[in-house]
Amino acid sequence: MFVHEIQKATSVRSLNKRFPKRPQVWVDFSRADQLKILVDDTQFENLPLDRIPGPDTYQFSFPVLIPSSMPSHNVWYIIMCSSPSSECNDFKDADHILATIPLPGFEFGQVCGEVGCLADV
């Protein structure tokens, strides 16, 4: 299983300064298999999540630990929460989940940078 290696909140970076992060604590990395991004819900109505790449494209960077074997379920889920992390758990609390975005995982030998994962040739 892929897990993150986040030791402190500053290891998570929003690569677009326009992303409306929740004031003070905006990430919850307490579980190694999850990363919750907490959105400033006073600005969520202006948060376009369905656009092609451009000024409103949101990307995040954080360290991950690569497993020794490829998991059969190789998908990352980005969960945007409008409430404190304790009220936004495991995809179950629809009232506080603003968006769940599934992303295909990467393969061994790929290099992932600030513009996504690129195949290692």
The model's pLDDT over 47-97, given as tens digits with 9 standing for 90+, comes to 665 555 566 677 888 888 888 888 888 887 777 887 666 667 655 656 778
| Radius of gyration, alpha carbons of the chain | 15
For the entire predicted model, the pTM comes to 0.72
What burial letters (b/e) apply to 82-121, b meaning 16+ CB within 10 Å? Answer: bbebeebeeeeeeebbbeeeeeeebeeeeeeeeeeeeeee
pLDDT at res. 56:
65
Closest CA to 29 of 73, 63, 57, 66: 63
> pLDDT tens, 33-44?
888 888 887 776
For the residues of 11-46, what is the DSSP string, one character each? GSEESSTTS-BPSS--EE--STT--EEEB-TTSGGG
Share of the chain above pLDDT 70, in %: 71
Task: Give dist(CA 69, CA 71) in Å, integer.
Answer: 6
Q: Among all chains, which residue has been given the structure tokens 């409430």?
A: 83
pLDDT value of position 121: 31
